[in-house]
Amino acid sequence: MFNDELAEVFSELADMEEIEGQKWESIAYRRVAMSIAGLGEDIRDISRRNELRKIDGVGAAIEKKIRQYIEEGRITAYDNLKKKYPVDFKQLRKIQGLGAKKIASLYVNLGITNVSDLRVAIESHKISKLPGFGEKTEMNLSKSLEMSLSAGPTRIPLGEAYPDIMELKDFLVDSGLFDRVTVAGSTRRMKETIGDVDILAIAKDKSKAAEVLVESDRVSGTVVRGESKITVNLKIGITCDLRLIEEGSFGAALQYFTGSKEHNIHLRNIAIASGMKLNEYGLFSEERQVAGRTEEEIYSGLGMEYIEPELRENTGEIEAALNHALPDIVGYEQIRGDTHTHTVDSDGSNTVEEMMLRARQNGLEYIVFTNHSKSLRVANGLDGAGFRELNRRIDDASSRLDFPALKGVELEILKDGSLDLGEAVLSEMDFVLASLHQFVTGDSDENTGRVVKAIQSGLINGIAHPTGRLIGKREPYKLDMDRIIAECSAAGVCLEINGDPFRSDLPADIVRRAINTGVKFTLGSDAHNVADLSNLRFATAIARRGWLGEEQVINTLTLENFRKALSR
Ligand SMILES: [Zn+2]
Ligand SMILES: [Zn+2]
């Protein structure tokens, strides 16, 4: 989205001003980058209404810069600094352990401008000799770099790409040139990361249809242009194929291009075993097409139930479909509340009221506020008195806006496994999530022991982002997840599925492992601004990919029953 581009420009400005020693400018730019990234609408619309100054952190000077970017696609101050630091900040910042200062030092001393320069420098051990780096830092950077590369240079978290993909789809629909437009591929399966985008469409007029894709402002250029397929580069850094399909085989094509590959191979073999042939044009018996118009026809032609896209991984779903024993998985519209959200009161960028209004707009029936507790100083965590004051404001806002809001906390699990707030203040909370954020370098026994102690405290409702992984950045903590699942089940403590695209935690395979243990789940967006409340969709997708039913997810409950389920 345009907002994200502009936010990135300001955050690079912040990096460069920080290097220049301009502390205040840097802070101001970082703040405005955060505000822009969290805006619920296109900043160009806000500018048209002449309301840029209403955005948090925007004064006269920054307003001018935003206007210049909207009008000319550039900001002079940025261009000037960029000449001095021709560095790919966005890419380098993704590597754990690299902040603006370190990036600057790498550039000034070694001329490193991007990830491949960094790799060469690490391999020739030049980094460890730099002042302020040392051998340990070099080793850590090497590990982080390996992680970010093994995630694949072109695989990105679904949630990063999703708004752009939906915008692109709407753009095609609005052009009026198509009878049908559907996104297929790993996006339709709601995989946690995607490598490219597949769009299938039925065109009214093929010659005009392919052209229109290039006109979208999400597209940066054409790769190849064929008769019924066009491939373009998207600004988000991956490619997109638009395929023009005939109506009579649209279902077959949708099934084929949705994948996964393993799922399709298995289906194809089943077709062959029953003397048929399955491909992107249809299901054929002899040379006659017996199915192709819809996906449902294809699956039923193969003698099985329809399989939801999120399940198509060849991990038992085909056998279940043949036995008519597929689980009834939780639906996106069945989630009634968000159980993990932050506000300006800790490290979020919107107020309690703003979050409530957006939650209602998104169709939710209630929201739980879970700001950080005091030991997480980097996130401006609150102490008992802070929470009491905040809780009064939550109650007040809830009755003023007539929208149910629950008082919660994302509570630090301390080094010895004890909890960051006392029993008295916790007993005033509706919902207590406990998290491992700090001291996480321990071994499995140590880490698991801390989590188990929190589970057994009788004071918490759930464990947030249980594995601690950050996609492309950090491996899961060393933990015995099966033991944690069992302890949660025994103590009636929930496991969270966190919808932050960089977390996607729990991963779907662990959810799947837990479904028959009796443990319950909560789905949370972990939103730090109103826009990210939509991340609840990605948490739901993981639940579906993990075969979870509605009854296993407690925020599918009505407010009344949700409250009952929270007894500690
Ligand atoms: Zn957290
Ligand atoms: Zn959080």
CATH of the domain at 369: 3.20.20.140
In whole angstroms, give the CA distance from residue 431 to residue 461.
6
Ligand 2 centroid, distance to 338 Cα (angstroms)? 12
Ligand 2 centroid, distance to 107 Cα (angstroms)? 34
How close are the terminal C-alpha atoms of the chain, in Å?
43
Instruction: Mark whether 395 and 536 lie in a shared domain.
Output: yes
Among the three residues 39, 57, 85, which one is the final residue of a domain in this structure? 85
| pLDDT at site 278 | 96
Buried b (16+ CB within 10 A) or exposed e, 481-507: beebbbbbbebbbbbbbbbbbbbbbbb
DSSP states of 338-406: E--B--TTTT-SS-HHHHHHHHHHTT-SEEEEEEEBTT-GGGT-B-HHHHHHHHHHHHHHHHHHT--EE
Instruction: Mark whether 399 and 535 lie in a shared domain.
Output: yes
Q: Which residue has the higher pLDDT, 357 or 57?
A: 357
Ligand 1 centroid, distance to 420 Cα (angstroms)? 14
Among the three residues 244, 271, 286, which one is the final residue of a domain in this structure? 244
CA separation (Å) from 358 to 52, 161, 164, 534? 20, 21, 20, 10
Instruction: Mark whether 258 and 239 lie in a shared domain.
Output: no
Lowest mean pLDDT: which of 22-36, 277-291, 403-417? 22-36
In whole angstroms, give the CA distance from residue 2 to residue 568.
45
Ligand 1 centroid, distance to 465 Cα (angstroms)? 7
What is the domain-level CATH number for residue 310?
3.30.210.10
Classify 527 as helix, strand or coil: strand
| pLDDT at site 147 | 76
Domain count, the chain: 5
Instruction: Mark whether 225 and 137 lie in a shared domain.
Output: no
**Half-sphere exposure at residue 503, Cβ-oriented, CA atoms within 13 angstroms:** 23
* Residue 453 covered by a domain: yes
Q: Which ligand is nearest to the CA of 436?
A: 1
Cβ proximity of 555 and 337 under 8 Å: yes
**Half-sphere exposure at residue 354, Cβ-oriented, CA atoms within 13 angstroms:** 18
Query: Crossing angle of helices 444-455/481-491, nearest 10°?
Result: 10
Classify 16 as helix, strand or coil: helix
Instruction: Mark whether 273 and 229 lie in a shared domain.
Output: no
Kindly report the CA angle at 371 between 365 and 373, in degrees rounded to 5?
150
DSSP state, residue 184: -
Ligand 1 centroid, distance to 318 Cα (angstroms)? 36
Q: Which ligand is nearest to the CA of 370?
A: 2
pLDDT tens per residue, range 43-98: 999 999 999 998 888 999 999 999 999 998 889 999 999 988 988 888 888 888 88
Instruction: Mark whether 397 and 486 lie in a shared domain.
Output: yes
pLDDT tens per residue, range 320-345: 999 999 999 999 999 999 999 999 99
Cβ proximity of 14 and 80 under 8 Å: no
Mean pLDDT across 265-291: 95
| pLDDT at site 149 | 67
CA separation (Å) from 143 to 36, 93, 258, 474? 32, 15, 34, 9
Classify 126 as helix, strand or coil: coil
* Residue 92 covered by a domain: no
Residue 197 CB contacts under 8 Å (≥ 6 apart), including other chains? 161, 165, 168, 183, 185, 187, 234, 238, 239, 240, 241
Q: Which residue has the higher pLDDT, 228 or 283?
A: 283
With CA atoms as reference, report the closest residue to 393 among 382, 533, 110, 259.
382
Instruction: Mark whether 499 and 383 lie in a shared domain.
Output: yes
Lowest mean pLDDT: which of 88-102, 313-327, 545-559? 88-102
Q: Which ligand is nearest to the CA of 532?
A: 2
Among the three residues 215, 244, 273, which one is the final residue of a domain in this structure? 244
The pLDDT-based confidence of 217 (bands split at 50, 70, 90) is: confident
The answer to whether residue 158 scores a pLDDT higher than 90 is yes
Ligand 1 centroid, distance to 391 Cα (angstroms)? 20
Ligand 1 centroid, distance to 322 Cα (angstroms)? 41
Instruction: Mark whether 135 and 254 lie in a shared domain.
Output: no
Instruction: Mark whether 388 and 536 lie in a shared domain.
Output: yes
* Residue 381 covered by a domain: yes
Cβ proximity of 536 and 366 under 8 Å: no
Instruction: Mark whether 146 and 175 lie in a shared domain.
Output: no
Lowest mean pLDDT: which of 4-8, 148-152, 254-258? 148-152
In whole angstroms, give the CA distance from residue 136 to residue 371.
34
* Residue 327 covered by a domain: no
For β-strands 219-225 and 282-285, DSSP reports them as unpaired
pLDDT tens per residue, range 410-421: 999 999 999 999
pLDDT tens per residue, range 19-35: 888 888 999 999 899 88
What is the domain-level CATH number for residue 48?
1.10.150.110
Mean pLDDT across 151-170: 85
Mean pLDDT across 10-19: 92
Lowest mean pLDDT: which of 182-191, 215-224, 252-261, 271-280? 215-224
Q: Which ligand is nearest to the CA of 413?
A: 1
* Residue 93 covered by a domain: no
Mean pLDDT across 6-19: 92
Q: Which residue has the higher pLDDT, 388 or 136?
A: 388
For β-strands 229-234 and 219-225, DSSP reports them as antiparallel
Mean pLDDT across 247-274: 96
Ligand 2 centroid, distance to 126 Cα (angstroms)? 37
* Residue 94 covered by a domain: no
Ligand 2 centroid, distance to 294 Cα (angstroms)? 41
Ion ligand 1: residue ranges with CB closer than 5 A: 435
Instruction: Mark whether 503 and 549 lie in a shared domain.
Output: yes
Ligand 2 centroid, distance to 347 Cα (angstroms)? 9
Classify 469 as helix, strand or coil: coil
Ligand 1 centroid, distance to 443 Cα (angstroms)? 20
Q: Which ligand is nearest to the CA of 369?
A: 2
Residue 311 CB contacts under 8 Å (≥ 6 apart), including other chains? 317, 326, 329, 544, 545, 547
Give percent of the chain above pLDDT 70.
99
The answer to whether residue 407 scores a pLDDT higher than 80 is yes
| pLDDT at site 151 | 55
Ligand 1 centroid, distance to 433 Cα (angstroms)? 9
| pLDDT at site 426 | 97
The pLDDT-based confidence of 39 (bands split at 50, 70, 90) is: confident
The answer to whether residue 273 scores a pLDDT higher than 90 is yes
Q: Which two tokens stand for residue 566?
A: 């929270």
Q: Over the chain, what is the mean pLDDT? A: 93
- The H or E element containing residue 521 is strand 521-524
* Residue 260 covered by a domain: yes
Ligand 1 centroid, distance to 276 Cα (angstroms)? 51
- The H or E element containing residue 83 is helix 76-84
Mean pLDDT across 389-414: 98
Ligand 2 centroid, distance to 410 Cα (angstroms)? 6
Instruction: Mark whether 405 and 504 lie in a shared domain.
Output: yes
Ligand 1 centroid, distance to 359 Cα (angstroms)? 20
The answer to whether residue 38 scores a pLDDT higher than 90 is no
As to burial, measured by CB atoms within 10 angstroms (0-12 exposed, 13-18 middle, 19+ buried), residue 347 is: middle
| pLDDT at site 153 | 52
* Residue 90 covered by a domain: no
- The H or E element containing residue 415 is none
Ligand 1 centroid, distance to 412 Cα (angstroms)? 9
Q: Domain residues for 128? A: 100-150
Ligand 2 centroid, distance to 409 Cα (angstroms)? 9
CA dihedral sign, ordered 483, 487, 492, 497: negative
**Half-sphere exposure at residue 166, Cβ-oriented, CA atoms within 13 angstroms:** 9
In whole angstroms, give the CA distance from residue 341 to residue 500.
11
Q: Which ligand is nearest to the CA of 468?
A: 1
For the chain, the residue count is 568
| pLDDT at site 152 | 52
